[in-house]
Each structure stands twice: as structure tokens, then as C-alpha cells.
């Protein structure tokens, strides 16, 4: 029977383990959920090079995989959303056939399964993948085929979000396309692209159509523009989730690092539990926030906003979901309990039927974190 001193020592050691710096192997062992990642922003450099050779695309800056990865990262990390988006010209150029699109989705599923992700939502704009004659329907079907193969081979579940583009007058077509494929794996509609000069309210017809169809809406807002973009996304377009929402902090009064008062918009977002798809490293690279330390994530999390962590574009930001959790732990002193809350927030916000979300939470996520705590406890006992 352990003496009181042993029990106290065990308790101290257990707390130390819980509060330890989480290494990548540990973070990969946790079940994760991801809801904001762009299909054309996560390509493997080697695959891009192979597809460029196969299709005769000669625009790549280099054919060395390592150097190409560096080129994408350096080009994206300039503190500007328009600059960040330039690299997509190359990834999109090699995604113009059904085989390339299917491969992109399949490799995305494989890569995320290795990160411990159990469910993810990927998004892309079909309008960019018709240069060689594919129809929008063929483009979407090819991606869904790749995701389905990924589910069969790696056991990872997924949903596809169709993106309308702010600077194009095709949003209603994309909305109709999304609804047409809702029974085959498409789970919602997004509005993406540069925010400045292209407010969400210009696309209300498409989003009113989605609302009438009782379908799902997420909109990029508050990344490259202010809180007005977030307000329009919600109040004009009926967004159920907001991508990034970094500038929501403009509607929050902060003094000495503490929230003093929420504005009407921030209070509404909090009260209505509107999910915020946070992407830490991407937000630094696009200039949405000056630095990780200045990112409003921690303030939003502490105020009980429904936030979650995402990657946005793994290739451009040289990141993974593991890396996003790693930098969040280092910057904001997060614990294992925080990781679990963020992951459950993501699953609560997923564009899945309610019973499926509950199944993931109570049959996959919570048991996974419970097993992790028990494993940590056993390791602590062995060390005594």
C-alpha cells in the first residue's frame, strides 16, 4: 500500500506529465478532426512534379521536391493574402484531369490518416479545374472517388465542400452543384478568395439558395478584411461556420490581455455558438495576425467561443495538424484537456448529421482521449 508521501509524489509526477511539452509522436497518437483544409493547398511536392511531367506543364520553378516545398513556403510567407494565393497557380495547373483530382483527394486522405485525423472536410473550387474540358460534375465526382478510396484504404472519413470564388460570378452555379452532390459526399458551400473589394453580400443569391435547400454554409471571413466581412457572412449569407474570423477581435475590447467587453457581433457569434475555423500559422503567413503570440485564438478560447484548430494549406504554410497543435501548446500553454475540447468543438461543428457527430464524439474521440490519460497514468506509476 503506497504511503501518503508516495501518493503525493505520484500526483505531482502525473501533473507534470499532463503539463509536459507534447512531442509530435504523442500528438499524432490523438484522434483529430479537421474542417478547414484546401485540396489544392496540400499537394505533395513530389506529386506536383510528377504530374507536371506527365501533363507537359513547364511552369514549375524547380523540379527538386525539397526546393519546391521551400519555394511554396517562402512565396506564401509574405504577410499578404494575395501573395499567399499566388502559389495555387501551380497546384491547380496539374489538377486538370480526373486521375489527378482523384489522386489529390486520395493522397490527402492518406496524409491526414497518418496525423491521427479520423474525420476531415476538404474544400476546393471546381471552376479552376475545367481547363482541359472536364465538366464541373466530372471534377467533383473525381475528387469524391479519391476520398472514398481513402476511406476504404485508411479508414478515414471525410466530406467535400464546394468553394464559390468572391471575384467570380459563378456562386449560384456552385451552390446548385453542391446540392446536386449532397447525397454523394458534398457537405456544404464555401466562399473563398481575396476579401478586399469582394464582400459576401454580393453572393447572397447563392447562399439564399443553399438556405432554402437546408444545406450547410461556411464562409472565409475576417482573414484579409475586417469584422464587417464576418457580419455580412453571417447576417446576409447565413453562414453556419466562419473560416478564420481573425478580425473578430476588432469587435472585442481588450485591456491588459483580458477581455473587457464584447461588441454586438462578437456577442452574437458567442451566443449562437457559431464555429470559428482557426488556422494559426496560415494567419501569420497571410498577415491576418502579426505573430502567433498576438493571435486572438487564446482570448476567443478563454471566452468560450467555439474555436478549433485547422491547417488551411499544409503545402503553402509548411504545416500539419500536429504542428498546429504543437505551436498552440507552446504559444498558449494548452493542456491535453484543451486539445480534447478543441477536437470536440471541431466535431460538433462538422457538416455531418447529428447522430454521426455524436457517434464520433462518444465512440472515437472521448475513448481515444480516455485511453491516452490511462496510458499516461500507467507511465507515471511505472516511474515511481
* CA 287 from centre of chain: 17
Closest by CA position to 319, among listed 30, 90, 42, 34: 42
CA distance 83 to 312: 15
- Which residue shows C-alpha cell 500507467? 378
Measured between alpha carbons, how far is 220 from 48 in angstroms, rounded to an integer?
A: 26
Strand 252-255 with 258-262, pairing: antiparallel
Name which of 227, 222, 226 is nearest 267 in CA terms: 227
For residue 158, which phi and psi values (nearest 5 degrees)? Answer: -160, 165
CA distances from 156 to 111, 146, 148, 181, 316 (A): 10, 12, 9, 20, 23
Find where cell 477536437 sits: 343
* Per annotation, catalytic residue among 37, 115, 223, 340: 223
Q: Is 64 exposed, middle or buried (0-12, 13-18, 19+ CB in 10 A)?
A: middle
Q: Are the C-beta atoms of 90 and 60 separated by less than 8 Å?
A: yes
Within 13 Å and on the Cβ side, how many CA atoms surround 271? 7
Q: Is 223 a catalytic residue?
A: yes
Which grid coordinates are listed for 327? Answer: 505551436
Q: Are 252 and 286 in contact (CB under 8 A)?
A: no
Any residues with CB less than 8 A from the CB of 64 and at least 6 apart, and which? none
* Other Cβ atoms closer than 10 A to 93: 19
Cell of 12: 505531482
Annotated catalytic sites, by residue? Answer: 223
Amino acid at each position: 500500500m503506497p504511503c501518503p508521501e508516495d501518493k503525493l509524489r505520484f500526483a505531482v509526477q502525473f501533473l507534470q506529465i499532463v503539463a509536459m511539452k507534447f512531442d509530435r509522436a504523442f500528438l499524432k497518437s490523438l484522434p483529430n478532426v479537421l474542417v478547414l483544409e484546401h485540396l489544392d493547398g496540400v499537394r505533395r511536392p513530389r506529386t506536383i512534379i510528377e504530374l507536371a511531367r506527365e501533363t507537359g506543364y513547364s511552369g514549375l520553378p524547380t523540379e527538386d521536391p525539397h526546393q519546391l516545398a521551400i519555394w511554396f513556403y517562402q512565396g506564401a510567407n509574405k504577410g499578404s493574402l494575395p501573395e499567399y494565393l499566388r502559389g495555387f497557380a501551380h497546384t491547380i495547373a496539374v489538377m486538370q484531369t480526373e486521375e489527378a483530382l482523384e489522386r489529390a483527394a486520395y493522397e490527402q486522405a492518406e496524409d491526414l490518416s497518418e496525423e491521427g485525423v479520423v474525420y476531415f472536410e476538404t474544400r476546393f473550387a471546381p471552376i479552376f479545374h475545367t481547363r482541359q474540358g472536364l465538366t464541373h460534375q466530372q471534377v467533383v465526382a473525381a475528387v469524391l472517388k479519391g476520398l472514398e478510396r481513402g476511406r476504404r484504404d485508411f479508414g478515414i472519413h471525410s466530406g467535400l465542400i464546394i468553394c464559390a470564388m468572391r471575384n467570380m460570378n459563378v456562386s449560384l452555379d456552385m451552390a446548385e452543384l453542391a446540392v446536386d452532390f449532397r447525397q454523394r459526399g458534398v457537405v456544404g458551400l464555401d466562399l473563398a478568395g481575396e476579401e478586399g473589394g469582394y464582400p459576401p453580400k454580393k453572393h447572397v443569391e447563392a447562399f439564399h439558395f443553399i438556405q432554402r435547400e437546408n444545406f450547410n454554409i461556411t464562409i472565409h471571413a475576417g482573414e484579409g478584411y475586417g469584422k464587417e466581412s464576418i457580419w455580412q457572412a453571417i447576417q446576409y449569407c447565413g453562414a453556419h461556420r466562419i473560416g478564420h474570423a481573425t478580425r473578430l477581435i476588432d469587435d472585442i475590447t481588450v485591456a491588459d490581455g483580458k477581455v473587457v467587453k464584447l461588441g454586438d457581433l462578437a456577442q452574437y457569434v458567442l451566443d449562437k455558438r457559431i464555429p470559428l475555423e482557426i488556422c494559426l500559422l496560415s494567419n501569420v503567413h497571410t498577415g491576418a495576425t502579426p505573430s502567433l503570440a498576438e493571435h486572438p485564438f487564446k482570448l476567443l478560447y478563454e471566452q468560450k467561443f467555439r474555436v478549433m484548430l485547422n491547417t488551411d494549406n499544409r503545402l503553402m504554410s509548411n504545416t500539419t495538424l500536429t504542428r498546429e497543435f504543437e505551436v498552440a501548446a507552446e504559444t498558449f500553454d494548452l493542456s491535453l484537456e484543451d486539445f480534447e475540447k478543441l477536437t470536440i468543438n471541431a466535431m460538433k461543428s462538422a457538416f455531418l448529421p447529428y447522430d454521426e457527430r455524436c457517434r464520433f464524439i462518444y465512440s472515437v474521440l472521448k475513448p481515444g482521449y480516455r485511453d491516452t490519460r490511462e496510458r499516461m497514468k500507467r507511465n507515471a506509476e511505472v516511474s515511481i
